[in-house]
Amino acid sequence: MTSIDPETMHGLAPVVNALPGEPVPYYLASGEGLRFEIGGQLWTVIARGADTGGLFDAAFVLGPRGAGTPFHSLPGHQRSYHVSEGSVQFWLPGQSRVLVPGDSVHVPPGTPVAYRMLGHMSRMLFFSASSGALDALVGEGEPVERHVYTPAEAREVLPPGAREHDLPRARAGDAWDDTLPRGAEAYFLRSRTGERRGWPDAVNAYSARGRNTGGRYFSVSTLAAPQPYIVRHFHRQHTETFLCLSGRIWLWVNGQELLLTSGDFLHAPAGTVHSFAIAAHNTQMLGLLTSDVFEPFFDVTSVPTEDHVYTEGLIDPSVVMGGIRGNPDLDLVVVDGPPRRTRALGL
């Protein structure tokens, strides 16, 4: 694992539309990354161990109806799959669900999982920690230039580097999976469920906590109304990623402004000075943070809520800053107030 000291990181402009090969800030527009086609599926790799200091791998998987994998496992990797378009049927040992946009499945190391895409142009995010789950794909695969899969016959293919399992496939159940388990076990989770916390004009829903991932990462899905930049800050001990699922998000990263729309991704390793602003109604953002050291931040700066959408004026904004001031041990270093928007002021 490699790292760059925080002071050096402060001065690095984000790499744009390329994997940097070292753990520095970078931005990828939707569809950009290293692309490989296997079994009729287009895998777009957006993070490798070289890009994340060994913390995680990530890829978008795009495919037609009928494409998928047999039961397989990865012994050293905690994985999450987040469906963003279409529909995908997943199997865990003894159970199955049909997942639609916003739904997810979380798989501990060594647990078998299988999936099949049920709709054309189905798309999902694959996230794995620690890194290495995509090494065989990147090392053995032949990169392609296209941004969509070829119209060939879809089939099930074992992912490179995975171990295959001969297990029966259960019929899809219709249970409404809305609760995080107590520990590191496999589980399904429906969109906008999980443990929810209210911010002003926003709701954060945990899709995975550190207790579910062996401390490797946690993930939060945010639904928010338009709001200005937050204070400029950085983290010393953890990496933060931003994935725009819908709407518009402005990111201020080491002095540069970037606009994220659906499918865009930003990697902010420890030491990156950053801020974000929401620029469209009902914007949805997925954050995956490695490790889980920053998880308490969302607990102390918000209030529990049973709602699945935000309510304008849900809590007093002072709750956020009060939580920060009252918890000095959070991995959060505030360096300045909110930045000023300078680009595309009409948006």
Of 153-162, 180-189, 317-326, give the lowest mean pLDDT range: 317-326
Q: How many domains does the chain have?
A: 2
Mean confidence (pLDDT) of the chain = 94
Of the segments 70-74, 154-158, 315-319, which one has the largest average pLDDT value? 70-74
- Is the predicted pLDDT of residue 258 greater than 70, yes or no? yes
Q: Are residues 200 and 330 in the same domain?
A: yes
Residue 325 in domain: yes
Mean pLDDT of 119-134: 97
pLDDT value for 314: 60
Residues 294, 217 share a domain: yes
- State residue 200's pLDDT score: 87
- Listed residues 111, 145, 174: the one ending a domain: 174
**Same domain assignment for residues 307 and 246:** yes
Residues 167 and 231 in one domain: no
* CA distance linking residue 121 with residue 61, whole number of Å: 10
- Domain-located, residue 234: yes
For the segment 101-122, what is each residue's pLDDT rounded down to a tens digit?
999 999 999 999 999 999 999 9
The string of pLDDT tens digits covering residues 71-107 is 999 999 999 999 999 999 999 999 999 999 999 999 9
Q: How far apart are CA 261 and CA 280, in angstroms?
A: 10
Give yes or no: residues 141 and 238 share one domain: no
Tell me what pLDDT residue 183 has.
94
302 domain-assigned: yes
In a domain, 252, yes or no: yes
- The pLDDT assigned to 319 comes to 77
Verify that 258 and 299 share a domain, yes or no: yes
223 and 126 in a single domain? The answer is: no
Please provide the size of the chain in residues: 347
User: 199 with 169, same domain?
Assistant: no
How many C-beta neighbours within 10 Å does residue 336 have?
10
Report yes or no on 187 lying in a domain: no
pTM: 0.95
Give φ, ψ of 163 to 5 degrees.
-100, 130
Query: Domain check: are 161 and 212 in the same one?
Result: no
Q: How far apart are CA 168 and CA 93, in angstroms?
A: 8
For 165-204, the pLDDT digits (tens) are: 999 999 999 999 999 999 999 999 999 999 999 988 999 9
Can you tell me the mean pLDDT for 263-280? 96
**Could you report the per-residue pLDDT of 4-53, keeping only the tens digit for each?**
778 889 999 999 999 999 999 999 999 999 999 998 999 999 999 999 99
Q: Are 50 and 34 in contact (CB under 8 A)?
A: no
* pLDDT tens readout for residues 194-245: 999 998 899 999 999 999 999 999 999 999 999 999 999 999 999 999 999 9
**CA pair distance 307, 197, nearest whole angstrom:** 9
* Residue 311 banded pLDDT, cuts 50, 70, 90: confident
DSSP state of 251: E
| Residue where a domain terminates, one of 113, 142, 174 | 174
How large a percentage of the chain has pLDDT more than 70?
98
**Assigned token pair, 175:** 């249970």
- Residues 59, 158: Cα–Cα separation, whole Å: 16
Strand spans (E) along 109-255: 113-117, 122-129, 163-164, 187-189, 195-199, 202-208, 218-224, 232-234, 239-246, 249-253
Instruction: Calculate what percentage of the chain has a pLDDT beyond 90.
Output: 84
pLDDT at position 138 over 50: yes
Domain annotation covers residue 15: no
Q: Is the peptide bond before 291 cis (omega within 30 degrees of 0)?
A: yes
User: Residue 180 falls within a domain, yes or no?
Assistant: no
**Are 138 and 243 found together in one domain?**
no
* β-sheet bridge partners, residue 97: 90
Average pLDDT score over residue span 149-163: 91
- CATH label of the domain that carries residue 54: 2.60.120.10
What per-residue confidence (pLDDT) applies to 1? 46
pLDDT of residue 2: 55
What are the distances in angstroms from CA 305 to CA 175, 179, 199, 229, 232? 22, 14, 10, 24, 27
Based on the fold, state whether residues 223 and 170 are members of the same structural domain.
no
On whether the CB atoms of residues 177 and 193 are closer than 8 A, the answer is: yes
Domain that holds residue 54: 31-174
- Could you tell me if residue 341 is inside a domain? no
Residues 206 and 80 in one domain: no
The residues, any chain, with a CB within 8 Å of residue 261's CB and separated by 6 or more, are 30, 244, 247, 248, 249
